[in-house]
Structure 1
């Protein structure tokens, strides 16, 4: 290894976005180490729907995970249903562990090495950064919603609670052994939460629920007669997994030679299902701007703008008295609904 570093790029966090960042760096001809304590494919609470743009990003990295075709998005509630099918290609429902394994295999093929360990301190100088006993010329912090690196470098910014109560949102997910009944991601609107149904294989669907701290997955399903009927008698596959609070903020995306990528850089909500697509775009931008922090800040802003604006607006409506008007508005304005879906799917 040239110089006094173990690798050109040290990636902290070996989840999907971290592995995508490692692959991007290797494709750019850089040496890479991934600092990650967990040895195998890691499961987590997420909707598992890859939008067409996310699939395109994976294909560019040489990754093609198995899953179930996703042709669009449907909002469902009571007697109302509004759906939009993607105009520019299809997405794919992919179980989180399957996606993780596919990215890990591609990273291995390219010579990426995983080093077991955690980020307990960050020390940097003009030529490199030391994390977990490893020294890299640059560090990409891809360590998730509650990023340790973000806190250690002073970029953590606790989200403010909305006036009038705790509106923090949390997510839960469980798989059910049942044949998918369609090729759309269905978003079922309950009074207090949303349930996202994503087919991930011919005999398995994932159900993710987003809502407040007291939201329960089973209680939400029980409030949705159509979904409850679909799942009646279906055997759960695995336990309920949770995540949150979902909204996370950072003061900036860079601190010297440390760049925040993916959820570590800030997160709004999972309501629009754009976390991975946006995370992959950030990974590409970070590798392209390793020596240009201000350039990465600008690229990060461009890559996340639509997600932040549209998701923030929808979450504000979903956590306000206007919540009940979201589905009727989507049904009354299908072209607007379709335009929003297309903007987020690309």
Structure 2
């Protein structure tokens, strides 16, 4: 299908942020063209976990019941330390592969009135004499097309090419990297009910996970936080970390991972992807442009969770545009919304110490097994009602070491 010549808003990227934004805009009566460089349905490297913030955003978008009907419900997260200690934390959780989740979100945006076109790759912004974006240039093979738009929303994910082309990239390198695969093992599905998160010195500065999904298929993977370091001259360089070696270490160390990969059937291949975290690495807006989702850094560095916050940033972008007004007011409204979220991202960045120092996980898990109050605080991390940084602050660690009453 051909692209329209013009629209009110051109949304680039049809993942959670882009589709959420497009749906909200179309609901409000704006003409929306939503484009993606890949045809749908398509794979997306992710843990596929839906935690409370994602459920809340899905409800706002009117797709919570559709997602729940297909997702695998989970009642607990099992936190497992380097010495094998385990504590299970209750939560409102579910697992649904992004191939299916993103298609549901895209279908909802189209049903609301957004026009979807793919595969079209973002090449750059169209600008007026003052430098304000007036649309974008898109490419499909040898075909190049220009779409005029009052606003452009870039929801292009963690790969920085679109941000670079738009002149909005502040950091080329990612915040972290992840590797995941799918393994079908119906027999284990009868036993492994919780979402397992595992810390071990062989996995630092990251962790491993096993999430039970629909139809006896598990999402298994490893994530590495702070995968790049800043050099003396200000440039960034990749840490000397081999993700496949980390994944193999996870399977050697964790019995459930070893049983899963040895006795299960692989569904596809292991795939890796970058992560952009802590609402850093890109300018949030420019004249005529808003940046949303993981392009804006919408993933939490400690937990690696990004679906809920990507949805939230897409909704915030739509709300800012629907409210209208002068351009400066729209940008200020959107950036104020992200600024309100930023302190929570910073708290999760501080809690990221656990990934770098897995002995902290041993300490927290040991104490939580004997403290209902601490288990409630850990559940609050999932619900975003507890400050996760306090669990590993100096004061928090001192309280963990004090004798139990």
TM-score by length of 2: 0.75
Of the structure 1 ranges 29-38 and 106-115, higher mean CA displacement relative to structure 2 is found in: 106-115
Q: Does 1:215 align with 2:243?
A: yes
Show the counterpart of 1:151: 164
Moved more, 146-155 or 233-242: 146-155
Contact 2:50 2:96 survives alignment (8 Å):
yes
Query: 2:147 aligned with 1:134, yes or no?
Result: yes
Instruction: Give the match for residue 165 of structure 1.
Output: none
**Partner of 1:9: helix, strand, or coil?**
strand
The count of corresponding residues between Structure 1 and Structure 2 is 330
Kept in 2, the 8 Å contact 1:172–1:210? The answer is yes
Q: Secondary structure at the match of 1:302?
A: helix
User: 1:286 offset after TM fit, Å?
Assistant: 0.5
Unaligned runs of 5+ in 2: 139-145, 228-240, 325-329, 369-373, 387-405
SS in 2 for 1:97: helix
**Counterpart in the other structure of 1:326:** 361
Query: CA shift at 1:189, angstroms?
Result: 1.6
For the 8 Å contact 2:86–2:365, the answer to whether it is kept is: no
Deviates more, 1:105-114 or 1:29-38: 105-114
Q: CA deviation at 1:223?
A: 2.0
Which runs of 5 or more residues in structure 1 are unaligned?
162-167
| CA distance in structure 2 between the aligned counterparts of 1:11 and 1:19, rounded to whole angstroms | 8
Question: 2:343 aligns to what SS in structure 1?
Answer: helix
For residues 153 and 30 of structure 2, the distance between their equivalents in structure 1, rounded to whole angstroms, comes to 13
Cα deviation, 1:59-97, whole Å, max 9, x if unaligned, reads 3212222110022322113330112102xxx22100111
SS of 1:119's equivalent? Answer: strand
Inter-partner Cα distance in structure 1 for 2:315 and 2:121: 24
Q: Which has the larger radius of gyration?
A: 2
2:287 equivalent to 1:256: yes
Alignment partner, residue 164 of structure 1: none
Q: In the alignment, which residue of structure 2 is the partner of 1:243? A: 273
Q: CA RMSD in A?
A: 2.5
In structure 1, the partner of 2:297 is 266
For 1:147 and 1:24, locate their aligned partners in 2 and report how far apart those are by CA, in whole Å.
Answer: 25
If the length of structure 1 is used for normalisation, what is the TM-score? Answer: 0.86
The separation in 2 between residues aligned to 1:79 and 1:259, in whole angstroms, is 45
Cα distance in structure 2, aligned partners of 1:124 and 1:337: 48
Structure 1 residues 255 and 149: CA distance shift in structure 2, 3 A: farther
Displacement of 1:245: 5.5
* Cα distance, 1:343 vs structure 2: 1.1
Quote the Cα distance in structure 1 between the aligned partners of 2:214 and 2:256. 21
Q: Is the 8 A contact 1:73 1:85 kept in 2?
A: yes
Partners of 1:23 and 1:106 within 8 A in 2 = yes
Query: Does 1:187 find its partner at 2:228?
Result: no
Equivalents in 2 of 1:19, 1:208: separation in Å?
A: 26
Partner Cα separation in structure 2 for residue 238 and residue 344 of structure 1: 37
Runs in 1 of length 4+ with deviation above 6 angstroms?
none
Residues 179-212 of structure 1 show CA distances to partners (whole Å, capped at 9, x for unaligned) of: 3234432101232321111111131110121135
Q: Check whether the contact 2:123–2:136 (CA below 8 A) recurs between aligned residues.
A: no
